[in-house]
Amino acid sequence: MLRYIVPIILVLGNIGNFILLGFFSQKHIRINSCSAYLFTAALFSIIGSYCALIPFIYAAYYPDPFGRFLILCRLRLYIGYICAMTFRSMIVLATIDRYALTSSRSTFRTFASISTARRAIITTFLFWSAAGFHLLIGPRIENNRCLLYGLYGFLFSVFQLLSFGILPSVLMIVFALLLIKNIRQSRTRSGSHYTKSFLRKRDRNLIELVYTEILLNFICTLPYSIFSIYMGLTNDIQNKSTRRIQVESLTFFFFITFLLYLMGYSTTFYGYLVMSKSFRREIRSELWKLIGTRSVTTQSELGKEQNSLGLLS
């Protein structure tokens, strides 16, 4: 059943991510710094989901090449690591960006600019590319499983727990709470009318999307953080029973493949639709524009064809 469910969710998820790329690349939206972070997050969602799940789908029908060829094993881990860490970092940066925008200090508000966002995105990508370089050297294949073993695997699991699980979640929660505090303080100082003028409609809508990202990431990442420690502690055990290996493999799929990659990368668009009324309104508006444009174009083409037929007659 999984061989059918996973491809369907992957396709639906990436349809949503491609819609997000189109949405955040619109001229009136892409000039916003928060949109740049969310656009980049959607882009790495697509790359990361393909990197993580296409091999799984292939292995459901054919022998898994990533458990046989070391170079493919390491490349998959490396690219997947960059995508996962960059994706998480973009959500953290988007949260900080919204906090900076609502700050009463002008020095903080300068962070919420498109030029700062572009520099932060490039720097983040280069940083995680360098930080994960060891994955091109260290992983090994044992019993057709491409993993990090021994002390190296344990230390990397702890690092992953801190850098991918705990630290981003803490930063998201802290800056989300500070964002709420800034908004409430602005209302207290000058009333709700000031808050509405202080935060443009576009910025308020983006804050809703950032809150949605925080919730989805927390749900999808927490189980992985716990499981990564368990794998780091037990990977080096040599006399595991067959049943234990099967249970670990199933748990590994559920926590890593399903929750972290499949759901984490595939639910953003649909989470926006459920949580944000303004996002639903904008998507509906863009769809009607697209349908209207096609309708006008079709009518124009029919008119030209009829005129040409009339001239021929």
Using DSSP's 3-state secondary structure scheme, residue 110 falls into coil
Joined tokens for residue 249: 């493999």
Going by C-alpha positions, the residue among 130, 219, 120, 132 that lies closest to residue 172 is: 219
| Residue 284, pLDDT score | 82
Q: In 3-state terms, the chain is what percent helix, strand and coil (to 5)?
A: 85, 0, 10
Using DSSP's 3-state secondary structure scheme, residue 292 falls into helix
Going by C-alpha positions, the residue among 110, 245, 88, 106 that lies closest to residue 169 is: 88
Q: What is the pLDDT of residues 175-214, one digit of tens each?
A: 888 888 887 776 665 554 444 444 566 666 777 788 888 8
| Residue 254, pLDDT score | 60
- Per-residue pLDDT at 257 exceeds 60: no
Written out in words, the top-level CATH class of the domain with range 2-295 is: mainly alpha
| Residue 311, pLDDT score | 41
Angle at 304 between CA 302 and CA 307, to 5 degrees: 110
Q: What are the CA-CA distances from residue 229 to residues 89, 134, 154, 170 (Å)?
A: 21, 19, 7, 18
Which range of 36-40, 234-238, 253-257 scores highest in mean pLDDT? It is: 36-40
| Residue 13, pLDDT score | 87
Model pTM? 0.78
- Per-residue pLDDT at 35 exceeds 50: yes
Q: Within 10 Å of residue 251's Cβ, how many Cβ atoms?
A: 14
Query: Could you give phi then psi for residue 147, rounded to 5 degrees?
Result: -145, 180
* Chain-centre distance for alpha carbon 29: 19
| Residue 249, pLDDT score | 66
Q: Determine whether 221 is exposed, middle or buried from the number of CB atoms within 10 Å of its CB (0-12, 13-18, 19+).
A: buried
* DSSP code, position 241: -
Reported confidence tier of residue 305, pLDDT bands at 50, 70, 90: very low
Q: What is the pLDDT of residues 122-140, one digit of tens each?
A: 999 999 999 999 999 988 8
Q: CB under 8 Å to 211, separation ≥6 — which residues?
A: 176, 275
Torsion (CA) 84, 85, 86, 89 in degrees, nearest 10: 120
| Residue 268, pLDDT score | 86
Q: What is the pLDDT of residues 92-108, one digit of tens each?
A: 999 899 888 888 787 88
Percent of the chain whose predicted confidence (pLDDT) is above 90: 16
Q: Within 10 Å of residue 178's Cβ, how many Cβ atoms?
A: 17
Using DSSP's 3-state secondary structure scheme, residue 46 falls into helix
213, 268 contact by CB (below 8 A)? yes
Task: Give dist(CA 35, CA 100) in Å, integer.
Answer: 14
Least confident stretch, 120-124, 198-202, 218-222, 238-242: 198-202
Element (H, E) at 141: strand 140-142
Reported confidence tier of residue 259, pLDDT bands at 50, 70, 90: low
| Residue 1, pLDDT score | 59
Q: What is the pLDDT of residues 275-289, one digit of tens each?
A: 888 788 888 887 777
| Residue 39, pLDDT score | 94
